[in-house]
Amino acid sequence: MGVVIESDVWEPNKTLYLFLLVSCFLSIFCLPHRSVNSNRVLTPFEHSLPSSLLRFQRNFLLLYSISSVMEGLWSVFGEYELAYYGVDKEQMVLSLCIGYAAALFLGTFLGMLSDLIGQKKVCLIFCILHLFVSMWKRIFAHPSVWLASICLSLAASIFSFSFETWMVVTHDKLGHRQDTLDDKFWLMTFTESASFIGSQVISNWLVLGNTETSIISPPTAAVLLAILSIILVAREWKEVPQTAASKDYRIYFTAYIFGDKRVWLLAWAQACIQFSIAVFWILWASTIVADGREVQLGLIYPCFLGARMLGSTTFPWFFSGPLYLRTEDCLVYVFIVMGFILSIVAYDYQEIGVLVTLFCLFHVCVGLVLPSLARLRTMYVPNELRGGMISLSLAPANAAILFLLLQRGYYQCIENSTIMAFAALGLFSASGCLYLLKRWGKQPYQNWHKL
């Protein structure tokens, strides 16, 4: 007698998408804003902003959205492209190692370069790198994996610090209030996550149909987006030329970054969150399919980004709304929660539904942490040194990821669960850093504007 085994394909419940969408809308719609000239609570639709700030915010978010779509396009399409050209697992690991090595040995210093020559020039380099890789892939059937990994990793390094630094410096020069700057931090995280979902939609739409023609469609779209970004940066970005000499910059950097233990604590917390995010995106798929069942990973990916969007909308509730908390107090507990989530994943196998729930909670926390750390950087790091501080803080994360990739991908010395455990320990240490930062922090809060 034959036995028929039915295929079991796991998919997230469709109501999860609706829940995340409605929750984001309600979080934004119901958030009260306090009037500047009175104690009357305003709804978001009554919260008027100066015309100059609205114009700057609109132009900045447009450029940031396009840049985020370019970043997300390669992260979504890259693995499909490598599989199409027959690149095996070992070569994929090699491309990751090359990318993180480039980010470590070259990307670490790009932030300091941007502080010296200006954010506009560095953002143009970001757009040119994407344009170069896209045209290279469009012209040649199978471009060098090494070259693409190096260029895209350097572009990702620039993306991590340059747009935020530009926004903060410009906001400060326009003389707008601090609470409007905080709003931009969570809007950046919200916009980035939404743009990553949009890049997945674009990639899926472009690769449908004939494989021979669709395989070159995403690079074509990236070329158009890169050209549009270059035009927007060149025409809309007004930047005062940098006048600081490299010697003066080195003196200031030594005094205000290396000489301030609070900045060291903040940099370590930033490195830990970036390390845990990178570990998650490298291991989440293999962790979910570990039981051998077929899973629709493409349907789970937007759930994580939607959760991060939801987390970003909670930021104003905690730091300018009715649930006001000191930033360090909030992050101490958020990092602990994130550490416990990864500890559960690392300690024992969980059912797919449980894993997806835990990973969604993890990304809710990520959505809250990223704008919170940006807020702390505004309080402890001078604007003129911000890019260098951010890129330098990413060096330990890139070094740790490179080391673990070599140990896991080539030498098979450690397991995925061990890497998850390292990420959890890093998050617990970040919680301790934020606790010390609270004790050593400024009383009351003071923000840097100019040296």
Mean pLDDT of 407-414: 84
pLDDT of 219: 82
Contacts of 279 (CB under 8 A, 6+ apart): 401, 404, 419, 420, 422, 423
Most confident stretch, 29-38, 245-254, 386-395: 386-395
pLDDT of residue 2: 42
User: Which ranges constitute the DSSP H helices of 207-216?
Assistant: 211-214
Reported confidence tier of residue 322, pLDDT bands at 50, 70, 90: low
Indicate whether 87 pLDDT > 80: no
Nearest to 445 by CA among 359, 376, 352: 376
Instruction: Dig out the tokens for 183 from the structure.
Output: 């709003």
User: pLDDT at position 59, please?
Assistant: 87
- Can you give the pLDDT at residue 203? 81
- DSSP characters over 95-160: HHHHHHHHHHHTGGGHHHHHHHH-HHHHHHHHHHHHHHHHHHHHHSSS--HHHHHHHHHHHHHHHH
Residue range(s) in the chain whose domain bears CATH number 1.20.1250.20: 50-243, 244-451
pTM of the model: 0.90
What is the model's pLDDT at position 46? 46
- Of residues 366 and 215, the one with the higher pLDDT is 366
Measure Cα distances from 390 to 282, 310, 359, 371, 383 in Å: 22, 25, 26, 13, 11
**CATH class (in words) of the domain with range 50-243:** mainly alpha
Q: 225-277: per-residue pLDDT in tens?
A: 999 999 999 886 766 556 556 778 889 999 999 999 999 999 999 999 999 99
Q: What is the reported pLDDT for 359?
A: 95
In this structure, what are the phi and psi dihedrals at residue 64, rounded to the nearest 5 degrees?
-65, -35
Would you state the structure tokens that stand for residue 181, as one six-digit string? 């700057």
**pLDDT score, position 41:** 45
pLDDT at 27 over 90: no
Closest by Cα among 20, 13, 67, 69 to 308 = 20
- Residue 31: per-residue pLDDT: 73
Question: For residue 355, which of 339, 344, 369 has the smallest C-alpha distance?
Answer: 344
In this structure, are strands 33-34 and 41-42 parallel, antiparallel, or unpaired? Answer: antiparallel
Band the pLDDT of 78: cuts 50, 70, 90: low
Percentage with pLDDT > 90 across the chain? 49
The pLDDT value recorded for residue 412 is 82
Element (H, E) at 42: strand 41-42
Per-residue pLDDT tens for 11-24?
Answer: 888 899 999 999 99
- Show the tokens assigned to 261: 């233990």
Give residue 151's pLDDT: 92
pLDDT confidence bin for 380, thresholds 50/70/90: very high
pLDDT of residue 97: 92
Asked if residues 14 and 3 have their Cβ atoms less than 8 Å apart, the reply is no
- CB-based contact 159:67 (threshold 8 Å): yes
Q: Is residue 435 pLDDT above 50, yes or no? A: yes
Predicted local confidence at residue 324, as pLDDT: 74
- At 173, the amino acid letter reads K
Per-residue pLDDT at 45: 46
Position with higher pLDDT, 48 vs 284: 284
- The Cα 146–Cα 148 span in angstroms is 6
Look up the CATH number of domain 244-451.
Answer: 1.20.1250.20
Nearest to 357 by CA among 370, 343, 341: 341
